Amino acid sequence: MTKDLFNLNVEEMTQAGLGTGHRVSRLHPRMKPYVSGIKSGVHTFDLEKTAEKFSEALNFIKNLISDGKILLIVGTKIPSRDLVRIAGDETNLPIVNNRWLGGIFTNFETISKRVNYYKQLLKDKQSGALEKYTKKERLLLDKKIESLKTKFDGIKEMSKLPEAVLVLDMKKDLIAAKEARKKGVKIIAVCDTNIDPNQADYMIPANDDAISSIKYILEKVKNTAIEAKKDFESKQVQKSQ
């Protein structure tokens, strides 16, 4: 079974808090098949079904990255920002972990120009090219660089639209999912009990609020991506021989 391939363990998922949904009154009707019961007025997930859907998502990610395609990770909630940044650093995948900028997908050409401007400023600073400016001008440029870093640092190496996006909270980053849908970018999404799972191509029925849940999910995605990148690099070596 694919869930065994990715070492998905129901007990570990329970401990990580993946199984806790929202209050009963907030249930989206399409999430009913993934709910197993109610505890203290809160729905709980059927984690066997979570493991099945999560394994489908991980298998898609594995195949995507092993083919050299791009996955963008989006998680802009303040508690998960560091986790998303670490996942991006360790996998070399692009990320958005601050505010989603409208147009990243739907107006990619314009966004790319801003990203290139940011990269040029970084290059000029590192080379000493900004030393020709006055101290006041350099301070203003430093502020500009910091502002652009917040917006674009996670996507500065994303030279084209990604083939897929992982959205960690569909309520918080619904605009990202809507833009992805418009541009034909596949959507992998963590779907809590209040989310319409039909918004995603690959859904992961799980708690999208608990930091421990997001950490577990990102660890699995990260490990899958790292192995898939090794597979891709191996394929490239074979092709060159």
CB-CB contact of 69 with 35 (8 Å): no
The burial class, CB within 10 Å (0-12 / 13-18 / 19+), for 159 is exposed
Answer positive or negative: Cα dihedral of 168, 169, 174, 175. Answer: negative
**């995507």: which residue's tokens?**
64
What pLDDT, on a 0 to 100 scale, did the predictor assign at position 236?
86
Tens-digit pLDDT profile for residues 43-102 = 999 999 999 999 999 999 999 999 999 999 999 999 999 999 999 999 999 999 999 999
Tens-digit pLDDT profile for residues 193-240 = 999 999 999 999 999 999 999 999 999 999 999 999 999 998 888 887
3 Cβ neighbours under 8 A, 6+ residues apart: 51, 52, 54, 55
What pLDDT, on a 0 to 100 scale, did the predictor assign at position 2?
61
Report the distance separating Cα 14 and Cα 232, nearest Å. Answer: 33
Which two structure tokens, joined as six digits, stand for 13? 């998922």
Q: What is the pTM of this model?
A: 0.94
Tens-digit pLDDT profile for residues 134-172 = 999 999 999 999 999 999 999 999 999 999 999 999 999
What pLDDT, on a 0 to 100 scale, did the predictor assign at position 3?
60
Report the distance separating Cα 29 and Cα 48, nearest Å. Answer: 19
Report the distance separating Cα 203 and Cα 34, nearest Å. Answer: 11
Report the distance separating Cα 89 and Cα 77, nearest Å. Answer: 18
